Amino acid sequence: MKTNFSLITSLNMEKGHGELFPKLQGLQFFQIFLKILNQKNLYKQLQQRDFKSTRRRRPCGSLSPGNRQRVYLLDWCSLKITMNQREIIDFHHGWQFMQNGITKLKSILEGAAETHFTSEEHIMLYTTIYNMCTQKPPHDYSQQLYDKYKESFHEYITSTVLPSLKERHDEFMLRELVRRWQNHTVMARWLSRFFFYLDRYFISRRSLPPLKEVGLTCFRELVYQEVNVKVRDAVISLIDREREGEQIDRALLKNVLDIFVDIGIDQMDFYEKDFEDAMLKDTGAYYSRKASNWIVDDSCPDYMLKAENCLRREKERVSHYLHSSSETKLLEKVQHELLFVYATQLLEKEQSGCHALLMDEKVEDLSRMYRLFSKISGGLEPVANTFKQHVTAEGSALVKQAEDAVSQKKAEKKEVVGLQEQVFVRKVIDLHDKFMAYVNNCFLNHTLFHKALKDAFEVFCNKGVAGSSNAELLATFCDNILKKGGSEKLSDEAIEETLEKVVKLLAYIGDKDLFAEFYRKKLARRLLFNKSANDDHERSILTKLKQQCGGQFTSKMEGMVTDLTLARENQTHFDEYLSNNATANPGIDLTVTVLTTGFWPSYKSFDLNLPVEMVKCIEVFKEFYETKTKHRKLTWIYSLGTCNVNGKFESKTIELVVTTHQAAALLLFNTSDRLSYQEIMSQLNLSDEDVVRLLHSLSCAKYKILNKEPSNKVISPTDVFEFNGKFTDKMRHIKIPLPPGDEKKKVIEDVDKDRRYAIDASIVRIMKSRKVLGYQQLVSECVEQLSRMFKPDVKAIKKRIEDLITRDYLERDKDNANLFKYLA
Amino acid sequence: MPRSSSRKGTTNLKESGNSPVMDLFRGGSSKSSSKDIGRHDQLFYTYANHSLDMIDPDGIVSLCSDLGVDHTDVRILMLAWTMQAEKQGYFTLDEWRRGLKELRADSISKLQKAVLDLENKVRKSSSFPDFYSFAFRYCLTEEKQKCIDTESICILLDLVLGCQFRAQVDALTQYLKHQTDYKVINMDQWNAFYRFCNEINFSTFKNYDPNLAWPLVLDSFVEWMQLKRGKA
């Protein structure tokens, strides 16, 4: 490195001084110099350097070590020239030389076949400027040169660029503009290299616009301002032509639009104000025109297809030649014109609108609708609304269908079988599956659509069918699935799946407490009469219900299932007890299911007069039970009992499976052949209603174990009954059903009562914590608290408030009648 | 969940010093000479049942006949209110003294004059609402009673509000006899009736908002009225 340094030094020493232009023998020097100048990074670094440091031989700290020695060199050169008393160059002389260089540059730009600048020429031009700027005042021509620099652009633009632009139009003008701009860039680059020294010292010292900017400003003021309107219009018309399907020169547009961007240096103002605004306006007008035709001529799916295509193409347009910042604005504009403006018209198209698409199950079009309308503000609400209406209508149609079927059956005087309800629930499940798929697939799980689906189902799920609430129908549906020999023959997996869906439907039902009550009633029957098909399914649906409705909802039901397991264990112990106590054995097989009060539905317990055989049984069990527990009271519910009775008929003995009540009635005939209604009633100690029911089942139904006088189908208090010894059946084992009384009314009454307690408790809870609360708030908090179980009627709440006031839990504020106070 | 406390019935009556009744007759002599008291007591014992040391129902009947006013007249109720009488059908000596002092009457003829004028005075007074509530409380004759059967309520309404709100009272009475949801009316509902008569435009029910905390009985009443008018 040291050698290199000294070599150049010696070279320079040989060179003749005072000459304006170095001669050939200095070629080596220039080559090196040029090399230095062309080092782009060095260039930059030089620009950054303080002027003073170039005069001193001090390395700049910011330079990398590799370049340091070269900078020394440059400094040294400058110093050399300065130190040697140069001849003064007068302005005219110097500029003449520059003018020649510039002229050459212009002719190169114009495409005249001239050779490019040699390094020699280049360095000479630079040096001239350097020298003219470093002469002592009054020979410092910096200012004049700076002006001249600007003038050169002016002159070139007015004499050459503008005329050539003016004589061309449209696309040709655009091409010319692009060419001129490229030329201008080249020219600016070269000139700023020639005048580079101005940038380094003069300009930075005086905070004048740098050379590059001067060049750009010239072009902007003289060319751009002159032609930008024409250019804009030409570009827009090209865009419109492309929209109409023509092939256009995208590269050209890209270049032209780059000018709009570049002309603002770092700011987008020119692009936005001079081009983008007008382009967006035109786009708006273009699509507004299009849309106004399409909306008339096209169906909704076709329109949406077109709209989607347009949006896609506009997006491509941005990527091809518009500035990326235009994308959002452009798409918004198009969406506004195509979708927002016609949203209602489009969605409500009679034959093909949203409703029609739902009717025709056009899943793809609906997905497209979602995609498009999700982009505009408030676009999805009407779609969701239509969806909701549609689902509601479909659901209500199912309700109506079911009602019609029921009333038809009633008209035909057929027994209303549960089958119809079964079909209905199944259909509702299918409907839910179908529309849930819509929400998931077409509407991408958007909350708005989930809500619409929920709202719709809530509307028709709470209507009820032919006097039965949906809560009851669902409970019956579950029962049919879970019980032995239910109407549905399903695989285990199918049962699980169906149960899952039923539980989901339950979410839409307001009267969850009513469902729970019905479900408990049916569950009780399944468990007590051993009708449950599968223990696992029973437990699995309870788990599902628990997940959805909370532990409180299922605690009783779970208790019931557990009770039954415990009862089985208990029975084993009882059997052991009997085998160990031969004296205690009553001689009849006895199974007792001990249940926990509270878990199970409430049953009336009668003081039925049991036959002696059974009384013995009960006493034995009581003794056994007392050995196990103390202080527990057993209440016997005979109405839930089952007995197997051997009927010794004349032809054969048949085992009759009957209820405890029926058995007690039948056993009366062991001691007398004929008994009147009154005798039976008093001996059994039952109510009229129950006696009628059980005598009917024994004498008027399928199996006539008793003969009735007179022989008709109705039981009246004057009837007389007799054992029918002639009875026979092809089976050896028959079950004589006793139709259950009307449980529905009781269930509804129970639920009503529970609700009153629940509302009272809720109000008191709220008021206890709030002390003073406005009426509306109290009601809404109460509804909120209870909504997991049921939707309390506001009137019911009001009524409970009245009652609580009477009972001195609350009082009305004396001054504000809408305010309640808690009385602790 | 019945509660045993009967905080409402009595508390207001005890603090007779600040009672609204005092406001009504303020401006009269607040001093009472022992002479007055002597006359009041003398008059009291004319009607009192000596074994009870109270004026009992029989005494009241004879008092009424001396005053020339029927014992079911609203003015007798107002007299009871002036005395802040606690128990229906009875006046104690304290109550009697309080009432007569307020009315500035020390003879039967002065009392008669005052009583005849009483209705006018009470109806115009700002303490009418207090009288209105008193009317309800006064009818609570049983221990822990909080409600009054609708039949009595109808009579009471007619007595207390009849001449002021004829149309409302008639309609409400008709409704209460027609409906089956309510057998009894509590104090809150009773007070609401008065508020209703005062505040609600009875020809249109325009300013009746069932979303406010009106007792349900009034919601149903308005509903019933609207249905009836819709049919008519």
Put simply, whether A24 touches B (Cβ < 8 Å) is no
Give yes or no for a contact between A338 and A292, defined as CB atoms under 8 angstroms apart: no
CA dihedral over B23, B29, B32, B36, signed as positive or negative:
negative
Residue A418: closest CA among A489, A490, A492, A468: A468
Cα(B35)–Cα(B41) distance, rounded to whole angstroms?
Answer: 10
Residues comprising chain A, all counted: 824
Q: Which residues of B touch A818 (CB under 8 A)?
A: 212-213
Tell me: the pLDDT tens digits for A527-560? 888 888 888 888 899 999 999 888 888 899 999 9
Residue B88: closest CA among B129, B118, B57: B57
Q: Which residues of B123-160 are buried (b: 16+ CB within 10 A; e: fewer)?
A: eebebbebbbbbbbbbbbeeeeebbbebeebbebbbeb
Cα(A719)–Cα(B24) distance, rounded to whole angstroms?
Answer: 78
Closest Cβ opposite residue A802 in set B189, B191, B195: B189
- Cross-chain Cβ contact B213/A802 below 8 Å: no
Question: Left, alpha or beta for A509 (phi > 0: left; psi -120 to 50: alpha)?
Answer: beta
* Predicted local confidence at residue A57, as pLDDT: 42
Who's near A756: CB < 8 A, 6+ residues apart? A796, A800
Percent helix, strand and coil across chain B, each to the nearest 5: 60, 5, 30
Cα(A459)–Cα(A510) distance, rounded to whole angstroms?
Answer: 10
Percent of chain A clearing pLDDT 70 (strictly above): 87
Sheet holding A642-648, edge to edge: A642-648, A653-659, A733-735
Angle formed by the axes of helices A743-770 and A794-806, nearest 10°: 60
What residues of chain B have any CB closer than 8 angstroms to a CB in chain A? 1-3, 5, 7-8, 146-147, 186-189, 191-192, 195, 211-217, 219
Question: Left, alpha or beta for A710 (phi > 0: left; psi -120 to 50: alpha)?
Answer: beta
Q: Which two tokens stand for residue B194?
A: 């008065």
CB atoms closer than 10 angstroms to residue B30: 9
Please, which pLDDT band fits residue A289 given cuts at 50, 70 and 90?
Answer: confident
CA terminus-to-terminus distance, chain A: 100
Question: DSSP state, A443?
Answer: S
Tell me: the pLDDT tens digits for A158-197? 887 777 778 887 888 888 888 888 888 888 877 777 777 7
3-class secondary structure per residue, A766-799: HHHHHCEEEHHHHHHHHHHHHCCCCCCCHHHHHH
CA dist A5 to A1, A32, A279, A388, Å? Answer: 6, 12, 61, 88
Cα(A696)–Cα(A533) distance, rounded to whole angstroms?
Answer: 30
Q: Where are the strands (E) in B12-113, listed by range?
A: 54-55, 91-92
* Predicted local confidence at residue A763, as pLDDT: 93
Tell me: the pLDDT tens digits for A440-470? 988 888 999 999 999 999 888 887 777 778 8
Percent of chain A clearing pLDDT 90 (strictly above): 8
Residue A30 has pLDDT above 70, yes or no: no
Give yes or no for a contact between A343 and A290, defined as CB atoms under 8 angstroms apart: no
Owner of token pair 């969701």: A384
Which is more confidently placed, B1 or A809?
Answer: A809
3-class secondary structure per residue, A235-263: HHHHHHHHHCCCCCCHHHHHHHHHHHHHC
As a whole number of Å, the CA-based R_g of chain B is 20
Q: Which residues of B touch A817 (CB under 8 A)?
A: 192, 195, 212-214
Put simply, whether A814 touches B (Cβ < 8 Å) is no
What is the average pLDDT value for chain A, to the nearest integer?
Answer: 80
Cα(A184)–Cα(A106) distance, rounded to whole angstroms?
Answer: 10
Cα(B79)–Cα(B96) distance, rounded to whole angstroms?
Answer: 10
CA dist A310 to A291, A368, A467, A501, A519, Å? Answer: 11, 13, 54, 42, 56
Please, which pLDDT band fits residue A603 given cuts at 50, 70 and 90?
Answer: confident
What are the two backbone dihedrals, phi and then psi, of residue A603, each rounded to the nearest 5 degrees?
Answer: -120, 145
β-partners of residue A773 are A820
Instruction: For B209, name the nearest residue in chain A, comparing CA atoms only.
Output: A818
CB atoms closer than 10 angstroms to residue B29: 10
Put simply, whether A780 touches B (Cβ < 8 Å) is no
Tell me: the pLDDT tens digits for A193-230? 777 777 777 777 777 777 777 778 888 877 788 788 88
pTM confidence score: 0.68
Taking one residue from A and the other from B, the number of pairs with CB-CB distance under 8 angstroms is 51
- Cross-chain Cβ contact A818/B213 below 8 Å: yes
Q: Is A432 helix (H, G, I), strand (E, B) or coil?
A: helix
Cα(B129)–Cα(B132) distance, rounded to whole angstroms?
Answer: 5
Closest Cβ opposite residue B216 in set A802, A806, A823: A802
Q: What angle do CA A780, A786, A792 make, to 5 degrees?
A: 70
* Predicted local confidence at residue A787, as pLDDT: 85
Instruction: For B189, name the nearest residue in chain A, comparing CA atoms only.
Output: A802
- Cross-chain Cβ contact A775/B212 below 8 Å: yes
